[in-house]
Amino acid sequence: MDILVAVGSTREPKLRAVEEALTAIFPLLHGAARFKVESINVDSGVRHTPLSRAETMAGARQRVEAMRSLVKKSEIPYGYFIGLEGGIEIVAEAGRRWVFLENWAYVTNSAGKEAFGQSGAVLLPQTLASEVIDKGVELADAIDAFAGSAGVRDAQGAWGVLTRDLITRKDSYRIALVNAFAPFLTP
């Protein structure tokens, strides 16, 4: 039996993260049942680079809401909906501005259970943070310029650039998704 899982993105790192996380999670939740991921391109309803934890979390949730609205009349029996969103968290501490990249996952199942999970955070260098926050440059464009490369978002992501690929964009979303599934795994 296949359980359908809708993911609110067509980005390859996000989809690979979902596949990896569900490969580990599904045997714990559903025994021998298999999952089938369906990628649905939906808008997050937030800016390209959310500039707060609340906005990033809202983007993940709104991806799920947009998918549910899209498939409402289709009668396709989705078992889970997953929204993934990355964004910035700005923290003032000891008189300094610290800027972190965080990824969030939001999961809901057909029974209405829901949960958020976070990836952790990686500190952005001040030059990169200034481009995104002060100049309004989208993180995807800023990280390409910072790395002297193109298409970083669809490869290792800012996470990979900043950690020298010790943690990639895919890895960070996988962690966020595992964290989001934690309440489903433990009663």
CATH number at residue 44: 3.90.950.10
- Residue 178: other Cβ atoms inside 10 A: 19
| Alpha carbon distances (Å) from 26 to 149, 166, 178 | 36, 26, 11
> What is the reported pLDDT for 75?
84
Give per-residue pLDDT as tens, 90-120: 999 999 999 999 999 999 999 999 999 999 9
Residue 185 has pLDDT above 80, yes or no: yes
> What is the reported pLDDT for 1?
75
* Domain coverage including residue 50: 2-185
Distance separating alpha carbons of residues 174 and 55, to the nearest angstrom: 20
The pTM is what?
0.95
Dihedral angle of Cα 47, 52, 53, 54, to the nearest 10 degrees: -70
Distance separating alpha carbons of residues 2 and 167, to the nearest angstrom: 30
| The total number of structural domains that make up the chain | 1
